[in-house]
Amino acid sequence: MNAHDFTLAGARLRALGSGALWWPDQGLLCVSDLHLGKSERVARRGGAALPPYDTRDTLTRLAADLALTHARTVVCLGDSFDDLGAAHALPEEERLWIARLQAGRRWVWIEGNHDPGPVDLGGTRLWELPLAPLTFRHIAQRATSGEVSGHYHPKARIRTRARVISRPAFLADSDRVILPSYGTYTGGLDCTAPALAGLMRPEALAILTGRNVHPLPMPRAQEAP
């Protein structure tokens, strides 16, 4: 499996190349910031008419991760829908698809800033999910430990000898892990941004996602060139 293993508060976790977090001992798969229905929302608000296949693509990747892990529990870490309108406007086909993915497993929608209310899809809605020794919530809080969160869509840029490469990344230290966004049409925030740099401990790791995962010490701003 293309993955990087690490521990958080004693829990053995596995960062997958897809951007999902797998907790084998609990049979739990966690994904963040799916932003389902983003193309619909952008078009509704007068933006560009983007190709409306993002939800399908995100769900295809999620289905692949579920088939790979046989997860018993799925935690969507918030911003699962681009907004509540987008959640309600999902085409029937995509709703049924979500229902099929949910069949036979526990499914938790953590509420995010984009989707802070009920949606008429199966699964439990929670503000946060404590599951000792970890807590799942959308936005990281300072002075917590064993926290799994999303929200920031972290990315990391690496200067290699030939060119600079930027990829979505997990950020992990001994207190928390921040997941990259899983949605197809989502951008990212560089991990040198103050919001992220200030949150992570000095020894934090960035785990680049992609065909191969690459862990490295989290890049910081004004590093010696």
Partner 1 sequence: MGFVATDYATLIWGLDAVTDPAPLFDRRALREGLDGWLAENALMKRTFRASATIAGLIERNLPQSAKKTGRQATFSSDILYDTLLKYDPDHLMMRITRDEAMRGLVDFGRIEEILDRIGGRIDLIRLPRVTPLAAPLFLEVGKVSVAGSADDRLLAEETARLMQAAGLE
Region from 7-15, 98-106, 141-149, 208-216 binding partner 1, contact rule CB under 8 A = 208-216
Nearest approach in angstroms of CB 40 to partner 1 is 13
What is the residue whose two structure tokens read 């999303």? 150
Nearest approach in angstroms of CB 93 to partner 1 is 13
Nearer to partner 1, 138 or 167 (CB): 167
- CB-hemisphere CA count at 13 Å for 7? 5
User: Which residues 6+ apart lie within 8 Å of 139 measured at CB?
Assistant: 78, 112, 113, 149, 150, 151
Distances in Å between the Cα of 160 and the Cα atoms of 130, 134, 225 are 39, 35, 12
21: β partners: 15, 30
Phi, psi angle pair for 26, to nearest 5°: -105, -5
| CB burial readout 169-194, b (16+ within 10 A) else e | bbbbbebbbbbbbbbbbbebebbbee
Member of 68, 89, 185, 193 binding partner 1 (CB under 8 A): 185
**Binding footprint of partner 1, residue count (CB under 8 A):** 31
Nearer to partner 1, 14 or 214 (CB): 214
40: enclosing H helix or E strand = helix 38-44
Q: Does 191 bind partner 1 (CB under 8 A)?
A: no
Nearest approach in angstroms of CB 126 to partner 1 is 27
Region from 91-99, 101-109, 144-152, 212-220 binding partner 1, contact rule CB under 8 A = 212-220
Nearest approach in angstroms of CB 179 to partner 1 is 19
Nearest approach in angstroms of CB 162 to partner 1 is 6
Nearest approach in angstroms of CB 157 to partner 1 is 11
Q: Does 70 bind partner 1 (CB under 8 A)?
A: no
Q: What residue ranges bind partner 1 (CB under 8 A)?
A: 42, 47-51, 53-54, 56-57, 158-163, 165, 167, 184-185, 187, 203, 205, 208, 210-212, 214-217
